Chains A and B, each alone.
Chain A
Amino acid sequence: MICKLTPRFVPGYLDGELDLVRAIEMETHLQNCGDCARELESQRALRAALQRGSLAYAAPQGLRDRIQSSLRVSAAPEPPRHKSIWRAPSILRFAGAFAIVALCAVTAWQLAPGLRGPSSEQRIAAEVFSSHVRSLEANHLMDVPSTDQHTVKPWFDGKLDFSPPVEDLAGAGFPLMGGRLDYLEGREVAALIYQRRKHFINVFVWPDTAGSSPTQTMESRRGYNLMRWSRSGFQFWAISDVSAADLSEFVRLLEPHIAPN
């Protein structure tokens, strides 16, 4: 049977966590107690070994740079068309708001009918953003977990009044994880879930009734990147916390698989 003080006080003594009075008592005790002295010696030997081994890892080259650039993406007031004006001082804000309204009016006038103004796009972006966050938080990412596009696509039959294009991109490092019904813009939409390493990408798909511009636009909201485009009569929104570069790559890979009607 070893000294009962050993487990109670030796570690604290070693770690310098005893108060002054206890530490002095312990020093006296150590001179008379072989158990405690031996244990202290062993623990010191372990500490010395760990310190000798210099087991701390240094952050690899480039990690700091990547962190800094991801901070910039997250903090940057971008893209200019959507965001920056709302953070500007008020005079600029009025001027900017006026300019945007005027510009929208002119653009809409020229390109009407059917061009969605930024306000509607902003509203959808906000809905897409909260759907994505909710899907991750509420543990309700997938209604139909499957990596097989031939399982996911038929699953939507009878649940939606359209059949969304479903394509597995596992070969390119974006495996399909499943599908889910979601609700955006006052209608039911298909949500397809892809994975990039440990990050999830939600792709929302619904019929494009407004004849939206096919141009891809990207924006970022609170660390998430969003991409919007339309193709073959569908409107697409992809959102994820993967880097903007990864998301663009994903959309680039997905595009050719969306067959024209």
Chain B
Amino acid sequence: MAEATKQERFEHAVLPHVDAAYSLARWLTRNDYDAQDVTQEACLRAFRFFEGYQGGNMRAWLLTIVRNSCYTWLQQNRRLDSAEEFDEEIHSDSVSDSASPEVQILANADKQTLQRALEDLPAIFREAIVLREIEGMSYKEIADVASVSLGTVMSRLARARTRLRQSLEATLGKES
């Protein structure tokens, strides 16, 4: 049966990436329940589009669909942070001069604090960090998943890192 073969081929290709898909959805929706829902829906959509999949990077292909499903979900639930996040020029890239204490602070950052700081980032910055630092994707792969240029990937990533460091410094700096 052609359908069974398609499903088998699909499962063989896609199921190894379900963790990555769920992880991205979990970071973007910020809750388990919706992340599962979005991941399942994205996999079904991927299955429908599977005939059109040309081969190549399956993880990036799946994550592209997951990301789009997440943004649809964010829009439907009005969880997309204000338009401000799309203005990439608002926030300055001021880099702290006193690196050494910062390195110390970062070295002491615990998982919970990191999680909260990352969750507080606007979605487009959060996804840049997740794809780069958690999924270990290249700029090119991130550009494909997020449908933006390499330059945009670089600037989002730079801003995301700066904001993350500022937020961690603000949280952990007080404690030390």
Interface size class on chain B is 35 or more
Cβ of A47 < 8 Å from any Cβ of B? yes
Cβ of B64 < 8 Å from any Cβ of A? no
A49 touches B77 (CB 8 A): no
* Cα distance, A164 to B145, chains bound together (Å): 45
B44 touches A71 (CB 8 A): yes
Q: How far is the CB of A49 from chain B (nearest CB, A)?
A: 5
Cβ of B175 < 8 Å from any Cβ of A? no
B106 touches A74 (CB 8 A): no
A36-71 vs B, CB cutoff 8 Å, 1 = contact: the mask equals: 001101110111111101111111100110111011
| Chain B residue, CB-CB nearest to A59 | B22
A64 touches B109 (CB 8 A): no
When distances are taken between beta carbons in the complex, the residues of chain B under 8 Å from A17 are 138-139
B133 touches A74 (CB 8 A): no
A64 touches B15 (CB 8 A): yes
Name the one of A50, A54, A70, A75 contacting B129, with C-beta atoms under 8 angstroms. A50
B109-146 vs A, CB cutoff 8 Å, 1 = contact: the mask equals: 11100110010000000000110111100110000000
Given A42-B165, A46-B164, A68-B11: A53 in contact with B114 (beta carbons within 8 A) = yes
Cβ of B82 < 8 Å from any Cβ of A? no
A223 touches B48 (CB 8 A): yes
* Cα distance, A67 to B133, chains bound together (Å): 27
* Cα distance, A184 to B129, chains bound together (Å): 48
7 residue pairs bridging A and B, Cβ less than 8 Å apart: A7-B93, A11-B161, A41-B103, A43-B161, A46-B168, A53-B109, A63-B39
**Other A-B pairs beyond A56-B19, A59-B39, A75-B6, 11, CB < 8 Å:** A46-B106, A50-B114, A50-B134, A51-B133, A55-B133, A59-B23, A66-B36, A67-B39, A71-B10, A75-B47, A198-B34
